[in-house]
Every structure is written in C-alpha cells, then in structure tokens.
Structure 1
C-alpha cells in the first residue's frame, strides 16, 4: 500500500495533521507527519501538504518520485522559478512585528483573536497546536522556494477549505487536476478529520 506523508506548514507543527494521521493509521496506511523541509527517505509516497507546505511539496515529490500530491488548502508555487514563502503584503507586515533578534511571533498571533479561535474545534486542541508553533526568523518570511520545472504536470489534486485559497483552487482546475471544495476554516482537518481523510483518499484514487 502506498505510504502517505502528511506535510505540515513550517509555521505550525505536526499536531495539525494528527487526527487525519490517526485515521489513516487505523485504515492500515504507513503514515507519517513531517515538516516538508526535513529529509524523507521513503520512495514513491503520496504527499499531502497543507498550507505553506505546498510550496515545498513539488521539490519533495521530484526527489521521492511521489505517486501523487494532494494539496490541502495549500499554497502553490509558480510553474517555473522561485516563489516567495509569503505574499509581499504579509512579508511587509511581518517586518513590523519581528523582535530585536529577528524572530517572528507565533503564527496564531498574526491575526485577530476571534479569527484564530474560529479555526479550532475546542480550546484543548488549540493549546496543543500552539504548544508546537515555532517562532521562525523573519528571513524565512523573506525567502523564496524553488520548484522543479514541469512540476504542474505531475499527478496532483487540490482540496480547498472555503475561499482562502480561491486563486489556487481556480488554478488547479485550469490545470485539470481533481478538485474538491469544503465549507470550512483553514484548519478544517482538526474540525472534521473524517471528512478530510475521506476526501484525501478519494482524490488520491483519482490520481492512480
């Protein structure tokens, strides 16, 4: 059975994928959650990047000869060349909130409290996620990620939670990828992991 690698955004930690990983494990899958920047030795996995992990997934897919990639409410890199790790307007905002050591506040402190609270199913889940949130350097937000030429022609699908990544969703459709859209927040895999797990596997089947 194809191994599955759930890729969490560098801005958060593996807890964001934990409920889906548990369900895949219970279904008999070889599943791991990892930072997309970390080494991975498994060959021909299914990659499932969320959020900012999407920028790193094409390079990892090429190195591991992935059988497919299901992007989940994720950023997509440019078709050629490099892509900023965050949009220019967000990078400008983050320059104003970095501390004297050049470290950024945790991701959950970038947005209004009511918006952040709405992403989580309960306070305990939020606390567990926030316990893992790293303080990345401003240099990461000012960096760029290279994607291999031709990556868009590999087997890819897209699962969107609402309209946060509407442009990416539209682009996936234009590229002819399988696409599904749920009503939900950016961390919907924590809110309804059963539905998200089913959708990931359904989209993966369409890439086979």
Structure 2
C-alpha cells in the first residue's frame, strides 16, 4: 500500500467567515481519490448563519465538530483545520483523541490553553476586529479592515473572489474572545503536521507557524500559495492532504 491509497477519512474544519462550502474544491478531489470527506459548517456561519447569536462561544465550535464525529461514528480520522479552524480541532483532540489518526493545521491558528484566538493575533489586527464587531452589534463582519481587499487572502480578482464575496458571512465575536481550556498539551499525543502557506504568508497565523516549526515531533510542510489555497489551489492542497498518513 502507498500513502495515496484510497479509503482514508477526512474531517475538514473551515476558518473565519466561510462554511463547509469553502472546502468543496478540495473535498471533490479527495473523494475522487476514493476517500471519505466530511466538511461541517460551524454554528452561525454559511447555511447556518440563522443561528448566529451572542450565545455561541468557542465551545460551540468544538461541540459542532465533536458531534459530527459522534453522530457519524467516525474513527481513525485525519482532522484538518484551516485558519481559525485550528482552534476547534485542538479542542476536539483534547476531548476525543481516540477518534483521531492525524491532526493537520492547514496554515492554521494554534491555541494555547487559557488563551483566545484574539490573544494570539498581532495587537493591531485584534483591535481592528474588536472595533468592527462593536460597530456591528457583536459580530465580526466578513473581511473587516485590514483584510478589506480579498487579495490579502491571496485571492486574485475573478470568479473565485466573486464566489467568496457572495458567500462569506459575519463571524460571532465570541468565537474570537473565548479562551480555549485544554486538559492536555496541544494535539493530545496524536501525530500533528503544520502546513504553511508562504506566498503571501498570512500575518494572523505567524505566531502559530513559529510555535509549530520548533515543536519536537511535529511534521512541517510548506506550499507557495496564499492563505485561501483550498479554493485558489485545490489540486495542490488535495494532493498534499492525500499524502498525510
């Protein structure tokens, strides 16, 4: 058997302002290789945007993903988080390590126990998002400054950029401000790999890149693409993920 043999199970967790739909190009390619793929949408986003409220917190995102694992009776999964999605997958690994084969942080944020997503951002970006949320009644609008230009995510103008603009929705601020409490170290003893997108490198993930690159036992890969590579370079991303064992 080779590392590209069919039959693996992937659970893909999206980042800010998008939904499970964001994974469609990558999921299609992985399924075409014979893999099972699940791509849930976090509460309050995408087709679940009607559930956005001030009551949802970061714990809600961990529940969202954990409940998919439990309801679908998934085992031996490759659990992948992109961008903000790195935080809920860390919480899930803390709760359900026995279900996980490998954790993949796809240009993702890695939380420290007791700290929030905003705690790990450069202060100027964190404050910009707080201000945008205050102005919008507790919700972080899609692409607040300094990310107002879709090009900041590595997405050139065209059909993909238009697709993203049509479908992105506001983000609950509590997802960003709730600290994640872990009972075990990040990864909870499961194999972990960080995949860094380098062209251009996204500033909100820089501290996580530094943390992961110096972590003993972690895998490290790089891809010369922008932060939105799952939609701008799905062939390359799917091929890389198919090689995770």
Query: Taking structure 2 as the reference length, what is the TM-score of the superposition?
Result: 0.72
Q: Which residue of 2 aligns with 1:161?
A: 197
> CA, structure 1 residues 133+149, in 2 after alignment: closer, same or farther (shift >3 Å)?
same
Cα offset for 1:113?
A: 4.5
Cα offset for 1:118?
A: 6.0
Q: Which residue of 1 aligns with 2:218?
A: 177
Gaps of 5+ in 2: 1-6, 43-60
Gaps of 5+ in 1: none
Decide which of 73, 79, 87 is 1:55's aligned counterpart: 87
Aligned partner of residue 82 in structure 1, secondary structure: coil
For residues 111 and 84 of structure 2, the distance between their equivalents in structure 1, rounded to whole angstroms, comes to 10
> CA, structure 1 residues 46+118, in 2 after alignment: closer, same or farther (shift >3 Å)?
closer
8 Å contact 1:49–1:70 — kept in the other structure? yes
8 Å contact 1:47–1:70 — kept in the other structure? yes
For residues 136 and 231 of structure 2, the distance between their equivalents in structure 1, rounded to whole angstroms, comes to 34
**RMSD between aligned alpha carbons?**
2.3
Decide which of 133, 136, 140 is 2:171's aligned counterpart: 136
> CA, structure 1 residues 172+101, in 2 after alignment: closer, same or farther (shift >3 Å)?
closer
| In the alignment, structure 1 residue 111 sits paired with structure 2 residue 152 | no
Give the stretch that moved more between structures: 66-75 or 90-99. Answer: 90-99
Aligned partner of residue 29 in structure 2, secondary structure: helix
| In the alignment, structure 1 residue 95 sits paired with structure 2 residue 130 | yes
